[in-house]
């Protein structure tokens, strides 16, 4: 494949054909940042913070809403936002898969089951346990965060090739180095299907 | 002291002397019942007879300065310390061999008659042969460890034989007592061996061989040698019934009379004397210990004689007499006259065995009666027994030209001439007492009116030939065995010259013949006065007069053996058993079991607390996972 | 530019929120949904590292994580159905038979 370099959109106003969503994104961000040049941050950061905020809010909604269906909806939202984050990270294939498999199939399955079981009552309100669990989780976050800041990975991303994150790249890895896990994953899915059918059968 | 370097010759015949009795004992143990009682006994006696024949041959062939050695195999090998199972025969051992096998053989013959009606005859002969084996091991061992094995072995056989009639519980108690008191002595013995080995080892010599010990023992410090010899003497005191460990010997009379004759008169109890003679080179270097031995010997002789004065059991008198004579032997050892002590062992074996066998003959004839107050006038019924008993009594009293005269007078002369006048006087008085109680016994048993019970009188008879023949032989020995050690003014002593290669140059002082004669006359005077005292009191009327007239308090104390047993019981046995029962009732169940069970109970209690952690709630479990993970993460964060 | 640790902290926060959900909620279905949330946080970490290290392995891992998450969600829901049939309840606190 001919590697087409993604030239930084420093030259504004020059008409170039935009070939993939990445280029669209970067073109758009440069346009917006061009309009908003008084800001200290650039566009990428702004979009990141926006998405991050939305993600956190929807996660909290998943965990703290009392109606199950509402929780499911919040989860769908969270999954879609994560898909967008994947796209900004130059993983469009995985992002599409996230939408199709996670938000599409798995959440539909969740909703099926919710409707099937039809739990009409709302959950009982909290006990002391709520506080304890929350405190534990907060402690976890506090412990993890310094670890990640001290981390030695490169702060800035490397220059990415155009095909990074494309289906070709993914397929190359999947069928060369990771072919055995690939096959095992398919067996796993088969087993899951059988298991689900057996477990959920109505007893006679 | 100079010991000429002996020539050592290996001689394979030696091992058969102990082995034949051992084999006979084993054979009787397994096949005795099949053989039948008569044959089993005859086999046992024949085995000892074979050993005696070998001993005679060895004695005849042994050159004056010779040591014959027969090594079987190396028993212990630990670095440079080696102990071999090896037999050696020199002049001293040859004498002891003759005593052990000769008198042993006679007593085996006697037992064929004495135990004729006993159901357990086979077991008796098994034990008796085993005893001969161990005793031979003791006298023939060429190192201190083999001697000790024999030492322990004869203690074991003594226990087995004292408690031979074990259906009567008192006999087993007596056997226990003998073994335990012996053990106390053995404890000292073992400590002595340990100190000897380690102290010599510190100088670089690792050995327990007698010949090598004799060469190297001068290297040790005097204080160490004193310690070793004191400890070894503790062992000898236990085995040879000296003060304060004599209490087992009178109780040992519970065993059959042949046992009393062989073990507790002629052989086992003399093992202590033999051991000190064997290690004379060590004891010579510790004059303090020798003084101690002399004092204890004299005190024991005197003390036991005072108890024998009032006893009514025929065997108890002889038992205390044995203790007293052993005291004489140790008195001789204590003044350094080892050859004299062995001489007294030699003569004492003859007349004491004769006395015991004679008393056994009386007991056998009376159907088991042992109280002298119920005897009397047996002279007419049992002439052979009477005459041999008389000869032996003359010997033990020290009447001139009997064996006891020569050996006992030699001891008294040695004591006097080495300067221990106080001890000599004690020995002199004891000689008088000995005469008194022995003749008292003779008169009470064989003279006077016959006080025997009617039914015992019915089957009163002289003993069969198999029993009287040994008596006659021993009586002859009681006279002539002493002629080997006569003083200079008579026909001289062959005894010292015989033992000279082993024990060094003879220590007998021959300076003043006249003093020696005076001492002998003094002794004779004391003996005669003792005889007269007994004659007056006991000749005609037997037990009625004399004893009660002797004075209330003294009689009571003497009759009750000075309450020594009661004192030991109060001072030692009771606190010990109290301590043992304390341990058994409190320490064992509460402390030891309590600890072990306590560990289990504590574990169970903790489990009971921890099980509440399993609530069954999945979310609780997830929280516990998280807590653990948090702890780990925090730890690794701290490490960064 | 967005540094790597921004993504990682975001991921940690989402993970913690998912943990809250697992520990607190008394509806089994919501617990399962919180688990999915946690898995997504992990996926985000993988993709972020993949981008910043320039390696495709991260994205392949996410692929497999998704497959496994799907299988797990299916089985989990089947179990929930089965349990609901027996106990008529979705409250984990009412299912404490395996206690001391």
Choose the closest CB to A139 out of B619, B630, B640: B630
A47 dihedral zone (left: phi>0; alpha: psi -120 to 50; beta) = alpha
* Whether A147 and B619 lie within 8 Å, measured CB to CB: no
B602 vs chain C: nearest CA distance in angstroms? Answer: 19
Q: State which H helix or E strand residue B363 sits in.
A: helix B338-365
Q: Which of B626, B634, B640 sits opposite A150 (nearest CB)?
A: B640
CB-CB neighbors (< 8 A) of A144 in chain B: 633
The domain locations on chain B are: 286-548, 567-639
> Would the CB atoms of A136 and B627 count as touching at under 8 Å?
yes
User: What pLDDT is attached to residue B535?
Assistant: 83
CB-CB neighbors (< 8 A) of A146 in chain B: 637
Q: Is the pLDDT of residue B3 over 60?
A: no
- Give me the domains of chain C, ranges plus CATH numbers: 27-89 (1.10.287.3510)
B215-268: pLDDT as tens digits:
888 888 889 999 999 999 999 999 988 988 889 999 999 889 999 998 877 788
- How confident is the model over B401-409, as a mean pLDDT? 86
Residue in chain A lying closest to B634 (CA)? A143
φ, ψ at B604 (rounded to 5°):
-65, -40
Side-by-side strand order, sheet with B81-89: B7-10, B66-78, B81-89
B619 at A interface, C-beta within 8 A = yes
Verify whether the Cβ–Cβ distance B615 to C96 is below 8 Å. yes
How many A-B residue pairs are in contact by the CB < 8 A criterion? 24
Q: Is-contact B293 B335, C-beta < 8 A? A: no
- When pLDDT is cut at 50, 70 and 90, the band that residue B352 belongs to is very high
Helix (DSSP H) and strand (DSSP E) numbers for chain B: 28, 3
Q: Is the pLDDT of residue A2 over 50?
A: no
pLDDT digits (tens, 9 = 90+) for A121-156: 666 666 656 777 788 888 888 878 877 776 566 666
Q: What angle do CA B134, B404, B140 make, to 5 degrees?
A: 20
Contact C23 A136 (CB under 8 A): yes
On whether the CB atoms of residues A22 and A92 are closer than 8 A, the answer is: yes
Number of alpha carbons in the 13 Å side-chain half-sphere of residue C26: 15
Question: Does any CB of chain B come closer than 8 Å to the CB of residue C90?
Answer: no
Given CB atoms, is B617 within the 8 Å cutoff of chain A? no
Backbone dihedral angles phi then psi of residue B313, each to the nearest 5 degrees? -85, 130
- Contacts of C among chains (3+ CB pairs under 8 A): A, B
B592: closest CA of chain A, how far (Å): 47
More confident residue, B374 or B408: B408
Give me the residue from A133, A143, A147 closest to B623, CB to CB: A133
Candidates 3.40.50.300, 3.90.105.10, 1.20.120.1200, 1.10.3720.10; correct CATH number of A20-119?
1.20.120.1200
Residue B591 has pLDDT above 50, yes or no: yes
- Cβ separation of B619 and C22 shorter than 8 Å? yes
The CA distance from B632 to the nearest CA of chain C, in Å, is 17
What pLDDT is attached to residue A20? 61
Q: Which of A48, A75, A191 sits opposite C2 (nearest CB)?
A: A48
Which partners does chain B have (≥3 C-beta pairs < 8 Å)? A, C
Backbone phi, then psi, for B201, in 5-degree steps?
A: -60, -35
The CB-based long-range contact list for B516-522 (8 Å cut-off, 24+ gap) reads B516/B413, B516/B417, B516/B487, B516/B488, B516/B489, B517/B489, B519/B409, B519/B412, B519/B413, B519/B416, B520/B409, B520/B413, B520/B487, B522/B428
Q: If you count residue pairs, one on A and one on C, with CB atoms under 8 Å apart, how many are there?
A: 236
The crossing angle, in degrees rounded to 10, of helices B271-278 and B314-334 is: 10
CB contact under 8 A, C43 and A149: no
β-sheet bridge partners, residue A109: none
Q: State yes or no: cis peptide before B444, omega within 30 of 0.
A: no
Residues in chain B: 640
Asked whether the beta carbons of residue C95 and residue B626 sit closer than 8 angstroms, the reply is no
Q: Residue B366: which residues within 8 A CB-CB, separation 6 or more?
A: B374, B375, B452, B456, B460
Divide the 100 residues of chain C into consecutive groups of 10 and give the mean pLDDT of each group: 83 93 90 96 93 87 95 95 88 84
Mutate to test the interface with B, among C18, C34, C99 (most CBs of B within 10 A): C99
* Nearest residue in A to B627, CA atom: A136
pLDDT in tens, B79-121: 888 888 989 888 888 889 999 999 999 999 999 988 888 888 8
C53, A154: Cβ pair inside 8 Å?
yes
Out of C20, C33, C37, the one facing A133 most closely (by C-beta) is: C20
Test B618 with C92 for CB contact under 8 angstroms: yes
Nearest CA in chain C to B615: C99
Average pLDDT over residues B451-463: 76
Give the best residue of B607, B620, B625 to mutate against chain C (max C CB count within 10 A): B620
Q: Does B637 touch chain A (CB under 8 A)?
A: yes
* Nearest CB partner across the interface for B619, out of C92, C98, C100: C92
Give the residue extent of every domain in chain A: 20-119, 163-204
Point out the residue among A71, A154, A172 whose CB comes nearest to the CB of C33. A71
For residue B209, what is the DSSP state? B
Tell me which residue of B408, B411, B407, B397 sits closest to B484, measured CA to CA. B407
Calculate the average pLDDT of chain B: 86
- Indicate yes or no: CB of B619 within 8 angstroms of CB of C97: no
**Residue of A26 and A50 predicted with greater confidence:** A50
- Distances in whole angstroms, Cα of residue B489 to Cα of each of A24, B183, B416, B510: 148, 45, 17, 10
Query: C99 and B623 in contact by Cβ < 8 A?
Result: no
Q: Are the Cβ atoms of C100 and B622 closer than 8 angstroms?
A: no
* pLDDT value at residue B488: 63
**Helix and strand totals (H; E) in chain C:** 3, 0
CB contacts under 8 A, B 592-631 vs C, are 611-612, 614-619, 622-623, 626
Picking from A102, A109, A172, the nearest residue to C74 by CB comes out as: A109
Contacts of A200 (CB under 8 A, 6+ apart): C77, C78, C81, C82
Q: Mean per-residue pLDDT for B367-383?
A: 83
Question: Of B134-148, B369-383, B427-441, which gets the smallest average pLDDT?
Answer: B369-383
């Amino acid at each position: 494949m001919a590697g087409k370099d993604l030239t930084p959109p420093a030259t504004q106003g020059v008409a170039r054909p935009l070939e993939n969503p990445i280029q669209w994104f970067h073109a758009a961000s440069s346009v917006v940042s061009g309009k908003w040049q008084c800001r200290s941050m650039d566009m990428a950061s702004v979009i990141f913070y926006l998405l991050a905020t939305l993600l956190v809010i929807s996660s909290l909604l998943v965990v703290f809403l009392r109606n199950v269906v509402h929780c499911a909806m919040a989860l769908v939202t969270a999954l879609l936002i994560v898909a967008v984050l994947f796209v900004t990270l130059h993983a469009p294939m995985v992002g599409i898969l996230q939408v199709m498999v996670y938000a599409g199939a798995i959440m539909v399955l969740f909703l099926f089951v919710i409707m099937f079981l039809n739990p009409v009552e709302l959950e009982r309100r909290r006990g002391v346990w709520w506080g304890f669990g929350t405190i534990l989780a907060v402690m976890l976050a506090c412990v993890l965060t310094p670890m990640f800041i001290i981390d030695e990975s490169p702060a800035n991303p490397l220059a990415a090739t155009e095909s990074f994150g494309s289906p070709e790249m993914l397929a190359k890895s999947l069928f060369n180095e990771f072919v055995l896990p690939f096959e095992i994953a398919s067996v796993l899915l088969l087993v899951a299907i059988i298991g689900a059918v057996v477990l959920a059968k109505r007893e006679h | 002291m100079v010991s000429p370097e002996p020539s050592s010759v290996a001689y394979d015949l030696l091992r058969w002397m102990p082995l034949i009795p051992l084999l006979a004992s084993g054979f009787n143990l397994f096949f005795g019942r099949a053989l039948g009682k008569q044959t089993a006994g005859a086999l046992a006696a024949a085995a000892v007879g074979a050993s005696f024949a070998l001993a005679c041959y060895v004695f005849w062939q042994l050159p004056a300065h010779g040591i014959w050695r027969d090594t079987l195999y190396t028993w212990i090998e630990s670095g440079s310390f080696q102990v071999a199972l090896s037999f050696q025969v020199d002049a001293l051992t040859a004498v002891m061999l003759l005593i052990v096998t000769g008198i042993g053989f006679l007593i085996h013959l006697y037992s064929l008659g004495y135990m004729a009606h006993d159901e357990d005859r086979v077991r008796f002969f098994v034990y008796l042969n085993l005893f001969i084996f161990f005793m031979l091991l003791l006298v023939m061992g060429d190192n201190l460890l083999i001697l000790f094995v024999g030492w322990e072995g004869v203690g074991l056989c003594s226990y087995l034989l004292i408690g031979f009639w074990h259906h009567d519980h008192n006999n087993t108690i007596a056997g226990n007592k003998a073994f335990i008191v012996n053990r106390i002595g053995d404890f000292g013995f073992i400590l002595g061996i340990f100190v000897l080995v380690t102290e010599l080892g510190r100088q670089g010599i690792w050995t327990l061989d007698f010949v090598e010990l004799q060469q190297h023992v001068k290297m040790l410090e005097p204080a160490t040698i004193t310690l070793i010899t004191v400890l070894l003497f503790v062992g000898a005191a236990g085995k040879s019934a000296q003060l304060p460990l004599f209490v087992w010997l009178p109780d040992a009379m519970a065993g059959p009379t042949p046992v009393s004759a062989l073990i507790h008169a002629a052989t086992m109890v003399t093992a202590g004397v033999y051991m000190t003679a064997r290690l004379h080179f060590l004891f010579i270097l510790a004059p303090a210990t020798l003084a101690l031995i002399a004092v204890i010997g004299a005190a024991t002789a005197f003390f036991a004689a005072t108890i024998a004065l009032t006893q009514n059991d025929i065997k108890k008198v002889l038992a205390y007499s044995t203790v007293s004579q052993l005291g004489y032997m140790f008195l001789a050892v204590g003044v350094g006259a080892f050859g004299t002590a062995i001489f007294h062992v030699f003569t004492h074996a003859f007349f004491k065995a004769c006395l015991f066998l004679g008393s056994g003959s009386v007991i056998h004839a009376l159907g088991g009666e042992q109280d002298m107050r119920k005897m009397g006038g047996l002279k007419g019924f049992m002439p052979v027994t009477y005459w041999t008993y008389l000869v032996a009594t003359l010997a033990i009293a020290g009447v001139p030209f009997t064996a006891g005269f020569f050996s006992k007078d030699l001891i008294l002369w040695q004591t006097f001439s080495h300067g221990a006048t106080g001890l000599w006087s004690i020995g002199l008085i004891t000689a008088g007492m000995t005469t008194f109680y022995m003749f008292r016994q003779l008169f009470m048993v064989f003279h006077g009116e016959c006080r025997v019970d009617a039914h015992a009188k019915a089957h009163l008879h002289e003993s069969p030939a198999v029993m009287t023949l040994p008596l006659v032989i021993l009586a002859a020995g009681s006279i002539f065995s002493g002629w080997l050690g006569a003083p200079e003014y008579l026909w001289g002593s062959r005894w010292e010259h015989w033992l000279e290669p082993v024990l060094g140059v003879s220590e007998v002082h021959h300076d003043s013949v006249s003093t020696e004669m005076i001492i002998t006359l003094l002794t004779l005077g004391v003996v005669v006065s003792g005889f007269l005292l007994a004659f007056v009191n006991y000749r005609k009327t037997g037990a009625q007069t004399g004893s009660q007239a002797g004075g209330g308090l003294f009689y009571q104390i003497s009759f009750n053996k000075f309450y020594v047993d009661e004192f030991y019981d109060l001072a030692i046995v009771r606190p010990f058993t109290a301590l043992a029962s304390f341990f058994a009732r409190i320490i064992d169940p509460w402390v030891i079991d309590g600890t072990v069970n306590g560990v289990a109970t504590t574990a169970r209690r903790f489990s009971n607390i921890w099980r509440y952690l399993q609530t069954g709630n999945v979310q609780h479990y997830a929280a516990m996972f998280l807590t653990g993970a948090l702890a780990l993460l925090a730890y690794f964060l701290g490490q960064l | 530019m967005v540094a790597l640790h921004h993504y990682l902290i975001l991921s940690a926060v989402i993970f913690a929120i998912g943990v809250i959900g697992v520990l607190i909620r008394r509806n089994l279905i919501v617990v399962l949904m919180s688990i999915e949330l946690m898995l997504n946080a992990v996926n985000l970490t993988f993709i972020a590292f993949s981008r910043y290290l320039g390696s495709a392995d991260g994205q392949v891992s996410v692929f497999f994580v998704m497959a496994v998450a799907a299988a797990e969600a299916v089985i989990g829901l089947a179990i929930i159905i089965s349990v609901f049939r027996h106990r008529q309840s979705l409250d984990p606190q009412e299912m404490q038979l395996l206690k001391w």
